Amino acid sequence: MPATIFRKGLNLKNDVAGVLARDYHSHLIEEIKDSGYLWQSGRLTLHLAQEFGFCYGVDRAVDYAYQTRRRFPDQRVFLTGEIIHNPHVNMRLREAGVRFLTDPGELFDQLTPDDVVILPAFGITVRELEHLDRQGCTLVDTTCGSVLNVWKNVRQYAQDGYTAIIHGKAHHEETRATASQALRVDSGRFLVILDRREAELVCNFIRGTASREQFMKTFKAVCSPGFDPQQDLKRVGLANQTTMLMSESLEIGNMIRKAIVDRFGETSLSHHYRAFETICSATQDRQDAVTQLLKTHQFDFALVIGGYNSSNTRNLARICAQQGPAYHISEPSCLASASELRHRPVLSSSPPLPLATDSNIEERTTQQWLPATGPVRVAVTAGASTPNNIVGEVIEKLATFTDHS
């Protein structure tokens, strides 16, 4: 039998509200919001970005996961992978008995019609969904609406004969799912590009100044099967992983647009090039909020809180690092002491990384990160997958280092 799919929750929102509040609410964060996103304690002055933390899509995905566990207490419940990129949230779900199909020993082929499978906020590939449908599992789909919007555009590109050029990380769950949408059409094609450097090579090929050998050496693993750049880059449509840095996505789009114009002429642009803005509004709101915060005040440093494999958190850290010292931390324990901080290095761009290592970037330890005397001015923001309780605990721990020094 085909799978039963829940896409609008399981009518248990009120039943799990208390548990969600217990696991993720922060009274301190509410206090800071009520005080104009400003908090002072001892010699610490802290400004919180006015948009930060859980977005609607993440909040909905976590809510649905809790509802699923409540609705099916006696059945095996699985996630196809991390529900969102936050270790604290995924740990809570494991503690509730939710199993992860990405864990060793867990296999898609071992699922039965009695099992329940939660699809994460990033979505899953068309092939994975078809497999789960054949298995006859009960499915709870938490795919974010912003991601679904990108999928719609990519499918339309394929139907109209355009290759989808996706600005994203090829190993990321969302980008893999998005790319698979292009292949729902027999003639569909996709190409994933990571950054400006890779976009420049694509542009050079379009203009005829780069060889096929150069192109395929770089992109063979991140394009659709049988990709022929000579044919498949004649008509292209732009899309994005929804959590990328908006300024970079816009620049890449403009680069490719100009290359198309150089090759085919301005009058033929609409036949050869399409673009839709597919960065989600929550991602953009968080980027705009921290940019505004950094313009408005002077800070000793910024703390950016979120999972190390969270793309939107890493991009917030990139924005902060352009203005001054910035530390991307995953949890309160990263603040080891007033003299030692563990954090993920903030890179000016995101280098291609194998899937196996992306979530295991080595932390760096910085000594003497906190001014020893005098006022301490800190900007704080958090990625869209970071719950309020983690942000609150980081702030509380920071205060312990400044209240008595």
Cβ–Cβ < 8 Å for 176, 200:
no
Q: What is the pLDDT of residues 184-213, one digit of tens each?
A: 999 999 999 999 999 999 999 999 999 999
pLDDT at 353: 38
Q: Which residue has the tokens 């400004």?
A: 47
Domain locations in the chain as residue ranges: 4-10+56-144, 35-55+282-402, 146-279
Cα–Cα distance between 74 and 69 in angstroms, integer? 9
Query: Average pLDDT, whole number, for the chain?
Result: 94
pLDDT at 280: 85
CATH code for the structural domain at 35-55+282-402: 3.40.1010.20
- CA angle (63, 328, 47) in 5-degree steps: 80
Task: Please give the structure tokens belonging to residue 256.
Answer: 């490719």
Query: Residue ranges of the chain with pLDDT lower than 50?
Result: 350-360
At 21, which helix (H) or strand (E)? helix 13-24
What CATH architecture does domain 146-279 belong to? 3-Layer(aba) Sandwich (3.40)
Q: Which CATH number fits domain 4-10+56-144: 3.40.960.10, 3.40.50.11270, 1.10.1060.10, 3.20.20.60?
A: 3.40.50.11270
Nearby residues of 332 by Cβ (< 8 Å), 6 or more positions away: 390, 393, 394, 396, 397
CA end-to-end span of the chain: 66
pLDDT at 279: 75
Fold identical between 35-55+282-402 and 146-279?
yes
Q: Which residues pair with 356 in a beta bridge?
A: none
pTM of the complete model: 0.92
Number of other residues whose CB lies within 10 A of the CB of residue 315: 22
Cα separations in angstroms, 222 against 175, 190, 192, 371? 10, 8, 6, 45
Q: What is the pLDDT of residues 220-276, one digit of tens each?
A: 999 999 999 999 999 999 999 999 998 999 999 999 999 999 999 999 999 999 998
| Backbone phi and psi for residue 337, each to the nearest 5 degrees, phi listed first | -165, 180
Cα–Cα distance between 34 and 5 in angstroms, integer? 40
Number of H helices, E strands in the chain: 16, 16
Q: Which residues pair with 77 in a beta bridge?
A: 116
Chain centroid, CA 262 distance in Å: 33
Cα–Cα distance between 161 and 165 in angstroms, integer? 13
Helices (H), 183-239: 196-207, 212-219, 229-232
- Tell me which residues are annotated as active site: 174
